[in-house]
Amino acid sequence: MFDPDFDGQKLMFHPDRVAQWLAEGKTSGPLYTELEISNRCNCRCLFCGVDHLVNGTGTIMAPDLAALVFDGLAELGNRSVMICGNGEPLLNPDVVEIVRMAAARMSVSMTTNGVALSPEKLSLIDELEWIRFSINGCDPENYALVHGTGKEVFTRVLANVESAVARKKRLNLAVTIGTQLVLLPENESGAVELARRLKAIGVDYFSIKPYSQHPLSRNRRQIDYRGLLDLEERLRPLEEDGFSIIFRAAAMQRAGTAKSYRSCRGIHFISFITADGAVWECNVFAGDDRFAVGKVGEQTLPEIWCGPVRQRVVDFIEHDFDLGQCRDLCRMEACNRYLWRLENPRPHDNFI
């Protein structure tokens, strides 16, 4: 059974690497990597946080470059990779080969809009620990509005999710098949009916998360979630064994609040690599040269991770960067709260 606490963190399950960081102020490599294998996207979501980057270069990662990435990550002791990024991974024609390469070395997952999950690509789910479909519209009209596509795409996506579930059952696969909706005023009214449809298809969970403002995005939205929290009560009755509702109320209530830590320590445990092989110290600031640490193909990943350029970027982030410029509800927020607490214990922490 997977852990449904999407607002938590799992660093406590990797005490060796955390102990190394506490003792040395650095780690020998990341635990987790987010890998972009396509800069292209076939949706134009009205809330997109990376609208300033997606479809900018149109870069597609080739298998030989992916092999160098996985070789380097394995040497560094990286334990998991999420294939996602600023584009849609299924638009990479070599996605099945790339997933298989990764799965031979580490745990692999994927986030996708699911539009391009053709029968030829469906076998990639065999290698994944989990796949999450981003479905942010609740019917054909609403999907077209939110995703910026034709109305017919909604039906195609649900059919593709259904095909994935059928393959999982037929082959008795271990993959967790999840779905996620970014809660917006535009889709709130249809969320319960969408959850019913997804439950009938047989997905493992339906996650509802808040919008997170990207500091560099052209999209600017302010959403007060206080009036939307009652959606959880309407969704809960749908839960049963085999179908979980993951309503991220804690994240919704934290949205827009100040961070409880003063420096980003999560950078010692995560890496982000774009489709051209560029390595960035923070996924939020991919494209900002202040956060660029190297490029696979010009250097190996171990050379990049342990090199002087990355050390200068780490020093900048830890000592000079203003966290007020960071993304609201950053991916590493829970990890940063945990690491900051380890560095700055509170009274009574010895009373376990």
Q: With a cut of 90, say whether residue 196 has pLDDT above it.
A: yes
Q: pLDDT at position 72, please?
A: 98
Cα(246)–Cα(7) distance, rounded to whole angstroms?
10
Is residue 298 very low, low, confident or very high in pLDDT (cuts 50, 70, 90)? very high
In the chain, alpha helices (H): 15-24, 63-76, 95-103, 140-147, 152-171, 191-201, 231-235, 249-254, 301-305, 308-319, 333-343
Q: With a cut of 90, say whether residue 222 has pLDDT above it.
A: no
Using a pLDDT cut of 70, give the percent of the chain over it. Answer: 99
Q: With a cut of 80, say whether residue 325 has pLDDT above it.
A: yes
Q: pLDDT at position 308, please?
A: 98
Both tokens of residue 293? Answer: 């640490």
Is residue 14 very low, low, confident or very high in pLDDT (cuts 50, 70, 90)? very high
Give the model confidence (pLDDT) of 231-281 as tens digits. Answer: 999 999 999 999 999 999 999 998 888 899 999 999 999 999 999 999 999
Q: pLDDT at position 288, please?
A: 92
Q: pLDDT at position 303, please?
A: 98
Average pLDDT over residues 174-196: 97
Give the model confidence (pLDDT) of 50-102 as tens digits. Answer: 777 777 778 999 999 999 999 999 999 999 999 997 899 999 999 999 999 99
Cα(287)–Cα(305) distance, rounded to whole angstroms?
18
Q: pLDDT at position 49, please?
A: 76
pTM of structure: 0.95
Using a pLDDT cut of 90, give the percent of the chain over it. Answer: 84
Give the model confidence (pLDDT) of 122-153 as tens digits. Answer: 999 999 999 999 999 999 999 999 999 999 99
Q: pLDDT at position 302, please?
A: 98
Q: Give me the chain's average pLDDT, please.
A: 95
Both tokens of residue 154? Answer: 């909604």
Q: pLDDT at position 255, please?
A: 85
Q: pLDDT at position 244, please?
A: 97
- The two beta strands, 205-210 and 176-183, are parallel
Give the model confidence (pLDDT) of 301-322 as tens digits. Answer: 999 999 999 999 999 999 999 9
Cα–Cα distances in angstroms (integers) from residue 196 to residues 13, 137, 163, in the given order: 34, 14, 17
Both tokens of residue 199? Answer: 């439950």
Q: With a cut of 80, say whether residue 154 has pLDDT above it.
A: yes
Q: pLDDT at position 213, please?
A: 82
Q: pLDDT at position 174, please?
A: 97
Locus of tokens 């959606």: 231
CA atoms within 13 A on the CB side of 181: 30
Q: pLDDT at position 115, please?
A: 97
